[in-house]
Chains A and B, each alone.
Chain A
Amino acid sequence: MQTATLTDVTVNAGHLGGVVKLRGASAAKMTARDVNVYYGEAQALRQVDLDIGEKRITALIGPSGCGKSTFLRCLNRMNDVIEGCRVTGRIEMDGEDIYDTALDVVRLRARVGMVFQKPNPFPKSIFDNIAYGPRIHGFANHKNDLDEIVQTSLERAGLWLEVKDRLAAPGTGLSGGQQQRLCIARAIAVDPDVILMDEPCSALDPIATAKIEELMDELRTSLTIVIVTHSMQQAARVSQHTAFFHLGSLIECGDTDEIFTNPQDERTQGYITGRFG
């Protein structure tokens, strides 16, 4: 499993549109170097080096338990919540070490939002769900400001027309797809630079999935998205970059087209053609 060394990544980094150089790359929003993650004694990630391109969608694929969700959760330090979880290595965002003790994790998470596998709206009204983030961060000094943030967020998430007449209704009363878009709107409302999505469509039907994918494509114009997905088709449809993880290591990463048509590693080849996983 030591094949995904720096050299591999250097080679593959060349695929990132030719723009991304490995270190100090200007178009990389986030960079991860030598990232190892341990849950207690068990090592979940080994020596991961990966650049996340700005205003791109990066798909993380791989079989279950390969560490892709763990990696995703490193990017906004959600792993801090898990007891016994230890992260080593260096992850930077805009050149700033996000694991630096001087950096406040609360501020980091305001800049790096997250959408989860299962829609998790708060047991509050639709309005309060969206307004929650802006309120705690003090974005809105005025009720009108808040109204505006809620409306734009819902509009950007493509949910405004469906819910504008029932903003006081509980968010949990929406359908699964609507709930997930509500969670995306909730994440957008804080105006983050990056949104992490952990299998956002795995609990949704194809129509709701299509809506979310459409939404991601629109959001790409203004933010950076990292998505973990089990669906090869989804990765191929929505992403510009793809990273393949296997048994805790990053095997291969590069342009999505390249990975899907001409994978360099035979494990990648095997996974995307469905021979294992």
Chain B
Amino acid sequence: MEPLILLAVMIFSGLAIFLKDLLKAVICLMISSIFLGIIFFKLGAPYAGVFEISVVAGLVMVLFILTISLVGGEDFVKEPAIPVIFFLILLGIFSLLAVFGFKVSFIPSSATGDKFLNFGQVLWAGRTFDMVAQISVIFAGVFVILAIVSRKGKNGK
């Protein structure tokens, strides 16, 4: 199961870099973050998983979508090739490290939390207030985009 999730992280991260449509790239990055969050859970770091999903898959995505709305993301962006090359080099390095069985020597155990909690338990038992805060983030994101969209509609551009 874990190799499949890792593969999904790699594929969606790759898509986030290669896709020219900004909105689709952002959605791929969000899916990749959700899978990464699941890996954190599998590795016994449930709090890191919740933070990853909260911050990266939730909040940062709202910020990205908001920025796209502000600057107008309809046009495809002509990008330099450097990020793609950089991504391929990093992918190669990490693949080699994985193949040759590289082991991380230091994992800070203090920050991993209780390994025996599942996602629901961590979210419900430990981070319920975060959900209220996330609702505020989602509300703010939706209203801001509505305000920008309605303004653009009225201006005709």
A and B: interacting chains: no
Residues of chain A at the chain B interface (Cβ within 8 Å):
none
Residues of chain B at the chain A interface (Cβ within 8 Å):
none
